[in-house]
Amino acid sequence: MNRSGTSITIFIPGPLREYCQGASTLPSSAPNVRTALEELERNHPALHRNVCDETGAVRRHINIFVNDSHMRDRDGLETALLPGDEVIILPSVSGGREWQSV
């Protein structure tokens, strides 16, 4: 629970909404990004699988922002969440590189 217990908002990108019954946003009261992702894993496991791999790492071509800041520019998964914060999940533009493929 974050300090006030009020909700933060997680924004879900369009391609992933089918994994959370079409919701474009999900509420959370997590105190940090890690806990928010753990909530996702419990409540929306299929959605979480698209965001994180089975080791729990955020997928390479997924970016997570807290408000305007990429979490890597703050405290990564430990980035604290405050009342009213927005957590935005976005696919990056770096994922189009061809796989090595022979």
Give the x-and-dash track for 38-57 against other proteins (CB under 8 A).
Answer: --------x--xxx-xxxxx
d(CA 89, CA 91): 7
Could you say which of 34, 59, 70, 74 contacts other proteins (CB under 8 A)?
Answer: 59
Amino acid at 53: D
Minimum distance between the CB of residue 28 and other proteins, rounded to whole angstroms?
20
Q: Does 61 help bind other proteins (rule: CB under 8 A)?
A: yes
Q: Does 76 help bind other proteins (rule: CB under 8 A)?
A: no
Backbone angles phi, psi at 16, to 5 degrees: -100, 0
DSSP letter for each residue of 45-74: HHHHHHHB-TTSPBPTTEEEEETTEEGGGT
Q: Does 21 help bind other proteins (rule: CB under 8 A)?
A: no
d(CA 67, CA 20): 21
Kindly list the residues in this chain that would bind other proteins in the complex (CB under 8 A).
15-16, 46, 49-51, 53-57, 59-62, 91-92, 95-102
